[in-house]
Amino acid sequence: MPRFFSNKRLILLLVGIIVLVAMISFSLRDRQHASLPEQIVKDVVGFGQSFFSKPAHYITGVIENIDGILNTYDENKTLKSRLSEYASGQAELADVRSENERLREIIGKEDNLRDYEPVHATVISRNPDQWEEKIIVDKGEVHGVGKNMAVITANGLVGKVILVNKFTSTIELLSTENRNFRVASVIPGKKSAFGLIEGYDPARGELIMKRIDSNFDVEVGQKVISSGLGGIFPQGLLIGEVTEISTDDYGLTKLAYIRPAANFAMLDHVIIAKRTSVIVDGTDGDSTAGVEGEEGS
C-alpha cells in the first residue's frame, strides 16, 4: 500500500480521471444552462472577439466607405455623360415632334398610325389548359372595347382582343399556336426591314418573324416593333428583340427569332389600345390574317 501512494504519477492520473468524470456528469445533468466554467470561458472568448472585431469592423467600414466614394465618383461621371446625352436627345425629340406637327398641319392630316386611346384592364381569368394562349379581362363593350384591338403592357405588345362581351373581353396572346395570328412588324434601321410575326416556338419561348426581304441586313439585338400597316396594331409598339437570323425553308426570304419584350406568363394588368385612326374590321381567322399579312408584307 505505501508503494501505491508513493507513486505520484498514478495518483495524479486517478485524480484527473475522477475530476474529468465528475465534470462530464455535471455538464450533462442540465444543458439548458451553462455551467460556471463554461460561462467563464464563453465570456472571456466573447470579450476577446468583441475586442478584436470592433476595430476590424471599423477598418472594414472605412475601406468600404472609401470604395463607395470612388465608385460614386465613377458613377457620377457616367451619369453626367448620360445626362448630357439625354438632354440632347430630348431636345432633338422636341424638335422632331414640332416639325411633325407642322407638317401634319400643312397636309391637314389628323389621324396617325401611332395614336390610340388606352383602356386599362385587369386580368380576371386564365384557363390552365390555354395559359399561353388566352386571357380574360374586366373590360368589355360598355367600356368601348372592340374586337381586334391591340393589347399591350408597359413592356410591349402581348396580343389582341378576339371576343367582346358587355363587361369582359377575351384576348389572344402572341404566344398562341394559332398560325393565323399574324402581326405586321418592322425592324427599324437605316433601311427598315418589314416582315410578319407568324408563330411561336414554345421550346425557345420566342416569336418567329418571317418574310423578311433577303436584301435587308438584320442583326442580333435589333428591336422589332409593329409597323401599323395591318390596320389592327398601332405603329411603334415594341414586340421584342432579334436573337437569331436564318433563312426560310426555300431560302428566298429571311427568318428571325424574336425574344418577346413582354412576359406572357405573368400578366395582371394590360392596356387595350383603341386606335384613333381607321381600324380594319377583320374577323378572327384567315381573313384577319390575310389583312395583316397583305398589308405588312
pLDDT digits (tens), the chain, 297 positions? 455 445 777 888 888 888 888 777 766 665 555 556 655 665 565 666 556 666 766 777 777 777 777 777 777 777 766 766 666 676 677 767 777 777 766 665 555 566 788 899 998 888 777 777 889 899 998 999 999 999 999 889 999 999 999 889 999 999 888 888 889 999 988 788 899 998 888 888 899 999 888 888 888 989 999 988 877 888 888 999 999 998 876 778 888 999 999 988 888 889 998 876 544 444 333 333 333 433 333
Q: Rounded distance, CA 162 to CA 191, Å?
A: 33
Say if residue 163 is in the same domain as residue 288.
Answer: yes
* Contact between 297 and 137 (Cβ < 8 Å): no
Say if residue 160 is in the same domain as residue 56.
Answer: no
Say if residue 67 is in the same domain as residue 202.
Answer: no
Say if residue 54 is in the same domain as residue 131.
Answer: no
Q: Rounded distance, CA 15 to CA 38, Å?
A: 21
Q: What is the pLDDT of residues 39-80, one digit of tens each?
A: 566 556 566 655 666 676 677 777 777 777 777 777 777 776
pLDDT value, residue 185: 92
| Structural domains in the chain (count) | 2
Say if residue 210 is in the same domain as residue 77.
Answer: no
Say if residue 152 is in the same domain as residue 241.
Answer: yes
Say if residue 183 is in the same domain as residue 285.
Answer: yes
Q: What is the DSSP letter of 165?
A: -
Say if residue 126 is in the same domain as residue 102.
Answer: no
| Domain carrying residue 92 | 49-110
Residue 162, domain member (yes or no): yes
Say if residue 199 is in the same domain as residue 77.
Answer: no
Q: Is 253 helix (H, G, I), strand (E, B) or coil?
A: strand
Q: 75, 110, 145: which is the final residue of a domain?
A: 110
Q: Rounded distance, CA 271 to CA 278, Å?
A: 19
* Contact between 180 and 288 (Cβ < 8 Å): yes
270: closest CA among 173, 183, 175, 176? 173
Q: What is the enclosing helix (H) or strand (E) of 48?
A: helix 36-107
Residue 257, domain member (yes or no): yes
Instruction: Specify the pTM.
Output: 0.57
